[in-house]
Amino acid sequence: MDRRFLILIYLVFFISACSKNVPEIRITKNFSSKTCRVIVLPFENQTKDPTINRVFYRILIDSLIEEGLFVVPEGQVRRFFIMERYLVGENIPLNTIKLLAERTNTKIFIDGSILTYEKNEKNLKLAFIINIKDAYSGKILCSTYHVRTSEDYRKILHFGKVYTTSGLIKKMINEVLMEWRRKGLFSC
């Protein structure tokens, strides 16, 4: 009896250690997955680190391009905002985003915010929201919330643990893109 109980405890521990924390995704019914051209706007930074949103933004753009989407170049978006007299990081009105979408022939844009970022000696923690919005109405078509720590990727001893901020961001974004692919978003 004791041996069976011990095996059951090990089995439960093993299954719980291998379980995944997948991104939480909410999709509206009228989201068209045929769109392959997107605008990525700078992310809002709600953390104490002044650079995390720029690092996240650049890694997201790179990952979307690797995924096969056509992302309107960052320089083109910046130049448009400068011409319209908006600073990058300001709240951009919907009329301006509509005008940008018309000029770049896009229907959706991606924005979001970095909610938490904690970095201490042994662990990193990151939480973010990515919103996919209609460029003409401003309605949220898909919203993704994801939170992870570097300990979540540990496999055995220290193998698999993520030690850098950019490594954690890249792994988390890849998980989000994998979930989007599984749900049929952006089937280009």
**Dihedral angle sign, alpha carbons of residues 113, 95, 85, 64:** positive
Strands 70-71 vs 108-119: parallel, antiparallel or unpaired: unpaired
Is residue 183 very low, low, confident or very high in pLDDT (cuts 50, 70, 90)? confident
CB atoms within 10 A of CB 109: 22
Is residue 9 very low, low, confident or very high in pLDDT (cuts 50, 70, 90)? low
In a domain, 66, yes or no: yes
pLDDT tens by residue, 62-103: 999 998 889 999 999 999 989 988 876 678 889 999 999 999
In a domain, 88, yes or no: yes
Return d(Cα 57, Cα 94) in angstroms, integer.
20
CB 135 within 8 A of CB 106: yes
Tokens of 9: 């405890």
In a domain, 71, yes or no: yes
Q: What's the domain count of the chain?
A: 1
CATH of the domain at 161: 3.40.50.10610
pLDDT tens by residue, 153-175: 776 666 667 778 999 999 999 99
CB atoms within 10 A of CB 168: 23
In a domain, 15, yes or no: no
In a domain, 59, yes or no: yes
Q: Which domain does 166 fall in, by range?
A: 20-183
Place of tokens 């844009």: 109
pLDDT (0 to 100) of residue 130: 95
In a domain, 10, yes or no: no
